[in-house]
Chains A and B, each alone.
Chain A
Amino acid sequence: MAKHDIDHGLEAERGDTPLLPTERMWGFWEFTYANSALAIATWAFLIGGATALFVGSREGIAAIVIGNILGVLLATFSTCVPCGKYGTEQFTFLRSMFGSNGSRLVYVLAVVFLTMGWLAVLGLMFGRSIDGLSGLVSAHQTDPNGWLVLASGTFAIVLTAIVVAKGPTSIKVFNTIVAPALVVIMGVMLYLILSQHSFAELMALPALDAPFDDKRVNFMIAVEVNMAAGFSWWPYIGNLARLSKNQRTAFWPNVIGIFAAAALGEVVGLLAAAALGNSDPTVWMTHIGGIVFGVIALGFVAFANVTSMINILYTSIVGLRQLAGKKLRDMSWTLLVALFCVVPALIVCFAPGIYDGFFIFLVWTSALNSALAGIGIADYFFLRRQRMNLRHLYAAEAQSPYRYWKGFNPIALTALVIGFGAYVLVFNPQTLANTTLFTFVTASLPSCLLAGITHYGLTRVLAQRLGWGAYPSRHAGTTRTLDLDSRSYSND
């Protein structure tokens, strides 16, 4: 094959051009497995454990279900629904609302910093699980920041890079094996907890460390933590959804995977923390499951972190290719994957303390993700009425109606800042300081709503006058089109 003969299907799978329906590899169950593999990791148990600090078991289960379903649905509507319809890469699609440079900015904010942080945290979770396992089968004294944790964490990042370097087919195989096994193991964990305590006993367990006297405030903080978990999928699921065969298979598996499977893991973590004193299964599994089952289950839990890492790394690298267009597109996929993993590996080795800030880090991400979801829903559903013009999306910047102002859409960026600001005003994740509004509607919902309304309102008032965005007029049925052909395209 000559050097310039390109496999365009493979390029689309690993790049930013729209995937055709015939090229998409994931059916309903494959995407469900991918979703479940993404959702189930040590973080699910830790979020459940964090919920147990604020509320009792019964309220905690309610908070997990309410927070996750709302966060997951809002994140899904703004990413999976459009990307599943047109097969577009998530951050390329984002040009329609943020502009090409604005989309790059959002990628840096929502993916580069966060994903590198998450890869390091998940790597450390893997490392701690291996450390715990080693402590069970030998006389090894566990140490949360010891050499075994750091070496195992680095190994997890290297393993992730190897699987992702081979592309989505290997990810599909990995997910199909691991995800069903994880669901079964979590079911067994739940059974083991229920075999130690009656359901009524478990439901009567109080909060471990409620920060406020007001029961309502504690409940809403628990809902907010879980809504943050639901919104935290925003940067990743659009690029997974584009691999699924159509819009319906891009949507419904989220309800099983990142909602139900994640909620099951969190409930296990909640009940374990409330009844057994620790949400981390590496600590309590062998006490009630026995050494053999404990070791097998913990091995799977350790590798569950790797499946999550694989899925977030793949989606991040696909998005990375639209960041600097031709320059990164010409770089080999394997090299991009390897370069992206350098910083997380360094964090694992030199700043393992990031693990301890996991919970606050998660809630802060919701201030950004909830506003991004609100803007996405307002733009795609209400302003563009679910119709995208792909020619506009891939047009050279000078010709594209998505150039806005120097490649940035000031309207969407203003909405993002307002949404973020509203979140922090209503609820401060650092100090837990909150307003009366928070006790009724959380912080993520007003942030999402305000960002969406701001984007919708300012776009209606200003964008048409300024000739930005090729939005259809309020009464028009379709979007305006430009006379663009293949010579006009660029994703530089």
Chain B
Amino acid sequence: MNSQAEHARAQDLERRIRVYEEMEKGEQWPGALSSADYIAITLMTLALVVGFYLWGY
């Protein structure tokens, strides 16, 4: 029974990996962080660090 369960787990894992491999083949990864996100993160961080440093120190 254990090996049956292990086999079922391995098959399920294979199915999951294939889903991600299919996604990897696509042009766009659904919901991935875009360059706009990275620019926004950088600007937000700079604004917070520089702004609060100048205001507080």
Contact = CB atoms under 8 A, between A and B. Distances in A.
A249 B17 CA distance: 21
B16 to A, nearest CB: 5
B10 A65 contact: no
A485 interface: yes
B interface, how many residues as a size bin? 20 to 34
Contacts of B5: 4, 6
B19 interface: yes
Interface in B8-45: 8-14, 16-17, 19-21, 24, 29-33, 37, 41, 44-45
Interface in A1-50: 3-4, 6, 8, 11-12, 17-18, 20-21
Contacts of B4: 4
A489 interface: yes
A63 B56 contact: yes
A62 B12 contact: no
A17 B14 contact: no
B32 A85 contact: yes
A70 interface: yes
A69 B48 contact: yes
Given A18-B20, A69-B48, A486 B53 contact: no
A323 B45 CA distance: 36
Contacts of A246: 30-32
B14 A485 contact: yes
A460 interface: no
Contact of B20 (A4, A6, A11, A390): A390
Given A247-B33, A248-B37, A219 B17 contact: no
A246 B33 CA distance: 9
A251 interface: yes
Query: For chain B, what secondary structure do more than half of its interface residues adopt (helix, strand, loop), or is it mixed?
Result: helix
B14 to A, nearest CB: 4
Contacts of B12: 6, 8, 11, 17
A219 B57 contact: yes
A58 interface: yes
A65 B52 contact: yes
A391 B30 contact: no
A221 interface: no
Nearest to B1: A4
Contact of A62 (B10, B13, B41, B56): B56
A394 interface: yes
B31 A70 contact: no
A247 B29 contact: yes
A143 B24 CA distance: 58
A62 B16 contact: no
Contact of B11 (A11, A248, A486): A486
A263 to B, nearest CB: 10
Given A6-B9, A486-B11, A66 B17 contact: no
B20 A248 contact: no
A4 B53 contact: no
Nearest to B55: A62
A81 interface: yes
A60 B57 CA distance: 9
Nearest to B41: A73
Contacts of A394: 13, 17
Nearest to A60: B56
A6 B4 CA distance: 11
A245 interface: yes
A70 B13 contact: no
Contacts of B55: 58, 62
A475 interface: no
A385 interface: no
B56 A69 contact: no
17 contacts: A8-B9, A11-B9, A17-B16, A21-B31, A58-B55, A60-B56, A61-B56, A62-B53, A85-B29, A249-B31, A326-B6, A387-B24, A485-B14, A486-B13, A487-B10, A489-B13, A489-B14
Interface of A: 3-4, 6, 8, 11-12, 17-18, 20-21, 58-63, 65-66, 69-70, 73, 81, 85-87, 219, 245-249, 251-252, 255, 326, 387, 390-391, 394, 485-487, 489
Across the A-B interface, the 6 shortest Cβ-Cβ residue pairs: A62-B56, A246-B31, A486-B14, A486-B10, A62-B52, A8-B12
